[in-house]
């Protein structure tokens, strides 16, 4: 089985760009990626995998052909991958598999989403397609409402404080303020986060991620070829994925994402490492409580101690495991189909020492990407080559 390396990554600016098309955003990410590598021709790309929910229904039926046209690789095999917020992480998995099997020597994986150029009513409808319709959506439940249930249960079971949940937002805004590609490049205080307008108790506006336009891309190749293109390849050493019931009421617990736990165990097993070996991570903080759960589900702290992990600053640069150093979904932005590979982009920058919020000596990094309320999850572990 072939080993796989990421030779470059790119990301568009995240934000609201009504004037830009899907093609514009994906081309922006691609053009950044190719500036970091040498001796690369677009004709080297043998296959493309593109994650997208196709928010709003635009180009829902044939996104891969549109993206192929955007970067002038028409003619190669290409496919759109959809798995809610985890879409591009699963696109990445398929690109990795294609190289591991020997089918391809070079493939690209990425994602693209436009979420800002449709009405508010349509946005709510399209966001809801990633959740359970029968038992939740038709009863009036929303994603903020679902995650609020998780937050209140965590507070009840473990004594987690609202302040420690909201510290995740403060941290992520701090890092986004130094990220020129982030949607919200400004810091907030803990008081602002706690006292902001309530969305679904205990989650305020600052506990919720925004809707975002954006794109991301990773260029992968057979590890034996990586040094042809870069002196700083990043190897894929572990990956895992899992699923769980779509409806929350069918799950055993509201305070753990079983899909992420299964995925992390598989990834650690493949990489032959333990959580303590991870030096930097990007986790799926669609809501601040989701980041708290991710600390626990990835094994960075014991079950029920995610709030304490946040309170002690263990997820800050300089802490036990720096988390979301690019701003996370909360402040960098969450363009659904592009988020997974955008996380890869941040970890790749850390490992190749390109990051604005650099973690000294970071050689091993992890990405944690979930779909919906955790009904699907993908974990990827990267290491300096």
| Domain parsing of the chain, residue ranges | 4-119+212-234, 131-210+237-384
> 346 and 61 in contact (C-beta within 8 Å)?
no
Query: Does this chain's domain 4-119+212-234 share its CATH topology with 131-210+237-384?
Result: yes
Q: How far apart are CA 129 and CA 106, in angstroms?
A: 33
pTM of the predicted model, to two decimals? 0.97
pLDDT of residue 303: 98
> 338 and 215 in contact (C-beta within 8 Å)?
yes
What angle is formed at CA 169 by the lines to CA 266 and CA 51, rounded to 5 degrees?
Answer: 45
pLDDT of residue 182: 99
Q: How far apart are CA 218 and CA 199, in angstroms?
A: 35
Q: Look up the CATH number of domain 4-119+212-234.
A: 3.40.47.10
Q: How far apart are CA 87 and CA 61, in angstroms?
A: 15
pLDDT of residue 127: 75
At residue 140, φ and ψ (nearest 5 deg) are 95, 5
pLDDT of residue 61: 65
pLDDT of residue 63: 82
> 382 and 94 in contact (C-beta within 8 Å)?
no
pLDDT of residue 122: 80
Q: What is the mean pLDDT of each run of 10 residues along the chain (385 residues)?
A: 98 97 96 97 97 73 84 95 96 99 98 88 78 86 96 99 98 99 99 98 98 98 98 98 96 98 99 99 99 99 99 98 99 98 99 98 99 97 97
Catalytic positions are 85, 334
Classify domain 131-210+237-384 by CATH architecture: 3-Layer(aba) Sandwich (3.40)
């Amino acid at each position: 089985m072939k080993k796989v390396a990421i030779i470059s990554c790119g990301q568009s600016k995240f934000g609201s760009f009504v004037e830009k098309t899907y093609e514009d955003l994906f081309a922006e990410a691609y053009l950044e990626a190719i500036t970091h590598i040498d001796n690369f021709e677009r004709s080297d790309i043998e296959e493309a995998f593109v994650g997208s929910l196709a928010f709003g229904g635009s180009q829902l039926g044939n996104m891969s052909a549109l993206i192929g046209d955007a970067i002038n690789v028409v003619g190669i095999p290409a496919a759109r991958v959809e798995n809610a917020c985890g879409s591009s992480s699963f696109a990445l998995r398929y690109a990795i598999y294609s190289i591991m099997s020997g089918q391809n020597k070079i493939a690209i994986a990425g994602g693209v989403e436009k979420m800002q150029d449709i009405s508010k009513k349509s946005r709510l409808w399209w966001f809801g397609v990633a959740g359970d319709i029968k038992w939740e959506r038709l009863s009036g439940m929303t994603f903020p409402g679902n995650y609020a249930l998780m937050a209140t249960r965590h507070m009840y079971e473990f004594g987690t404080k609202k302040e420690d949940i909201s510290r995740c937002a403060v941290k992520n805004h701090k890092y986004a303020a130094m990220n020129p590609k982030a949607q919200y490049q400004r810091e907030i205080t803990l008081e602002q986060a706690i006292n902001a307008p309530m969305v679904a108790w205990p989650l305020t506006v600052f506990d919720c991620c925004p809707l975002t336009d954006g794109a991301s891309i990773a260029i992968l190749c057979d590890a034996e070829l990586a040094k042809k293109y870069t002196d700083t390849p990043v190897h894929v050493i572990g990956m895992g994925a899992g699923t769980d019931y779509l409806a929350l009421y069918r799950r055993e617990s509201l305070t753990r994402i079983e899909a992420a736990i299964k995925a992390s165990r598989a990834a650690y097993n493949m990489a032959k490492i333990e959580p303590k070996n991870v030096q930097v991570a990007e986790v799926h903080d669609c809501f601040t409580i989701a980041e708290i759960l991710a600390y626990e589900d990835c094994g960075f702290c014991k079950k029920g101690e995610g709030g304490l992990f946040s309170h002690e600053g263990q997820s800050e640069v300089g802490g036990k495991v720096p988390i979301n150093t690019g701003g996370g979904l909360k402040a960098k932005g969450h363009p659904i189909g592009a988020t997974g590979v955008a996380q890869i982009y941040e970890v790749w920058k850390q490992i190749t020492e390109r990051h604005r919020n650099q973690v000294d000596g970071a050689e091993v990094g992890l990405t944690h990407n979930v779909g919906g309320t955790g009904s699907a999850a993908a974990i990827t572990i990267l290491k300096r080559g």
